[in-house]
Amino acid sequence: MAEKQTGGGLLAGGLLDGIRVLEFSHVMAAPTSGLMLADMGADVIKVERLPGGDSVRGSAPFAGDVSAPFTMMNRNKRGVALDLRSEDGKGVFQRLIEGADVFIENYRLGAADHYGVGYDAMRAANPRLG
């Protein structure tokens, strides 16, 4: 029997099908959380900061010119890179958060606020995030 692929995940039935997760993260901790949610069928959108993106993109081993650890930690996710210092980048992020059910971030204390995407800003844009 073929597996049903829902919401980008691997599990038949998509336990989290219909749930949208916005992941503003880097390295391993939050990407692992997003990975688990994506594997259960959630629609996970990883947001990488510009310039540079997730530092794990530069981690070995590589398959050709692609980081295997980055690929492993971000499977089943969609991705976008945004310059959150720009009004355009902030506008795109705002539209993404308005449609999210879950927001994950793992930057150092105060970094999300610095980019205008801290808890208070997210709660104002989407009160469902609680």
> What type of residue sits at position 61?
P
- Provide the pLDDT confidence category of residue 117 given band limits of 50, 70 and 90: confident
Range in 7-11, 87-91, 105-109 the model is least confident about: 7-11
* C-alpha neighbours within 13 Å on the C-beta side of residue 8: 20
Q: What is the pLDDT of residues 67-101, one digit of tens each?
A: 999 999 999 999 999 999 999 999 999 999 999 99
Considering the entire predicted model, what is its pTM? 0.86
Helices within the chain (DSSP H only): 29-39, 68-73, 87-98, 111-114, 119-125
- Provide the pLDDT confidence category of residue 1 given band limits of 50, 70 and 90: very low
Structural domains of the chain sorted by starting position, each given as residue range(s) with its CATH number in brackets: 20-123 (3.40.50.10540)
Query: How far is residue 82's CA from residue 88's CA, in Å, rounded to a whole number?
Result: 9
Beta bridge partners of 77: 44
**Residue 108 — φ and ψ, nearest 5°?**
-60, 160
